[in-house]
Amino acid sequence: MKIGVLKTDDVRPQLATEFGEYPEMFAALLRRQDPALEFVTYEVQHGHYPDDIDEVDAYLITGSKTGVYDAQPWIAPLMEFVRELHKRRKPTLGICFGHQLIAHALGGEARKSEKGWGVGVHSYEVQETPVWMVEPQAQFSLLVSHQDQVTALPPDTKVIASSDFCPFAMLQVGEHMLTMQAHPEFTKPYSAGLMELRKEVFGDAMVEKGKESLTNDIHASAVARWMLAFLKSAA
């Protein structure tokens, strides 16, 4: 399987040397489940798109510090591309910003949450158990870093997982798009470094609480298996 990564941001230079860019994080996560996976990166934040939508088997939209509602010139073309992916029923994953953008582009809404920032390890309750959820579990935890959330669902969307903090945490649109607010590609050291780097934004108390949460288990490997099983089921 060849996955096209639609890259919507750069890792901060202070962290990139140690942890790599987002496509490298996703490749490391998913290749632990399937070493044969191929990846192609498209710098959509700089207007780089595939010449042919079918030159890859599936797409993955990364996270970004940008909001889907921001007046950045590259966001509207990306929303149009998402609508084309939806029209063509192309298997697609959306992570954090990608999760929000897919919802926003297809008739839902994403905006800043009144609940503020979420950082560190967050836990979610599974609301539905689709066939692609191999080795299903009732609850899972992942690393997060977000203030924006999906606040209204697009048509033909199921809520797969939720929490009190993030009611629309994992969504399935039709049979071909799976999105999630959390970051399965993050590692705990990267999360700790990001929190420290953004302490002025998050505040000392939130960073301290977020770092304390890093002692909790995360289920990135299980979610990676779900992601790949979903893409294969949608192909």
Query: From CA 47, how far away is CA 42, in angstroms rounded?
Result: 8
46 flagged as catalytic: no
21 flagged as catalytic: no
Please state the φ and ψ torsions of residue 19, each to the nearest 5 degrees. Answer: -110, -10
185 flagged as catalytic: yes
Q: Of 104, 122, 176, 183, which residue is the catalytic one?
A: 183
Q: Of 86, 96, 104, 122, which residue is the catalytic one?
A: 96
Token look-up 């209204």 returns 152
82, 102 contact by CB (below 8 A): yes
- Residue 211: how many CA atoms within 13 Å on its side-chain side? 15
Q: Which of these, 184, 141, 181, 143, lies nearest to 159 by C-alpha position?
A: 181
Query: From CA 61, how far away is CA 7, in angstroms rounded?
Result: 6
Token look-up 């510090």 returns 65
Query: Which residues are paired to 126 by β-bridges?
Result: 161
Query: From CA 69, how far away is CA 170, in angstroms rounded?
Result: 20
Q: Of 99, 146, 166, 185, which residue is the catalytic one?
A: 185
Active site residues: 96, 183, 185
